[in-house]
Amino acid sequence: MSVLPEVIAANDAYVADFGDKGSLALPPARQFAILTCMDARLDPAKYAGLSEGDAHVIRNAGGRASDDAIRSLVISYKLLGTKEWFVIHHSNCGMEFFTDEVIRGLLSSSLETAALGADGFTDIGSGPGSEAGKYINWLTIKDNAQSVVEDVERIRNHPLVPAGIPIYGYIYDVETGRLVEIPQATKVGAAS
């Protein structure tokens, strides 16, 4: 059964209470951006105390510093004035449960949803699959804290990122809701 009717009903309720949000400024009021994971357990508005219009939130699988995430951060700064950036990964991330080789193999077998069991992901689909997945860097995570450091470092060293923007590195703990700083990431991301 589709969730479409629920989404449309929720939107109708939202519109009814929209108020003056249509007059919010385009640049984020608090002048910062967050790069974080798409995991449904994360609510950046709640864990970072955001209201609509406060900050840019860029989400992808793992909260990784992909080319597209960096593109968004550069636009956030250059055109919309953000002055600080946060890279926030999280505990118990699905990107830790497989490797590039695993997802490539799963996709080559079938495009249907895989199952996650005690031994990792297994393909339960009947095919066909595609070899196109072998051309993608899936940015999987072997060590969560190290991946935060790597992503902050990748952003910091990008030629389109100004040295004066501080980049902070954190892991969101899905069991407590706490943001846990990764000091090495924040050190690498320090503004100069």
Task: Please report the pLDDT score of residue 116 as a whole number.
Answer: 87
Residue 177 lies in domain: 4-98+140-188
When pLDDT is cut at 50, 70 and 90, the band that residue 185 belongs to is: very high
Helices 144-156 and 67-78, axial angle in degrees (round to 10) = 50
The pLDDT tens digits of the residues spanning 20-76 come to 999 999 999 999 999 999 999 999 999 999 999 999 999 999 999 999 999 999 999
* pLDDT, position 119: 85
- Residue 36: the pLDDT is 98
Instruction: Answer whether residue 28 is part of any domain.
Output: yes
Residue 70 lies in a domain: yes
Quick check: is 155 in a domain? yes
Burial class of residue 75, CB neighbours in 10 A (0-12, 13-18, 19+) = middle
Q: Stretch 126-150: mean pLDDT, rounded?
A: 95
Residue at 25 is within a domain = yes
Closest by CA position to 32, among listed 63, 8, 68, 56: 56
pLDDT in tens, 109-130: 999 999 988 888 889 888 899 9
The answer to whether the beta carbons of residues 26 and 40 sit under 8 Å apart is no
For the stretch 80-91, pLDDT in tens is 999 999 999 999
Identify whether 123 is part of a domain. no
Question: How many structural domains compose the chain?
Answer: 1
Q: Write the CATH number for 55.
A: 3.40.1050.10
The residues near 187 (Cβ < 8 Å, ≥ 6 apart) are none
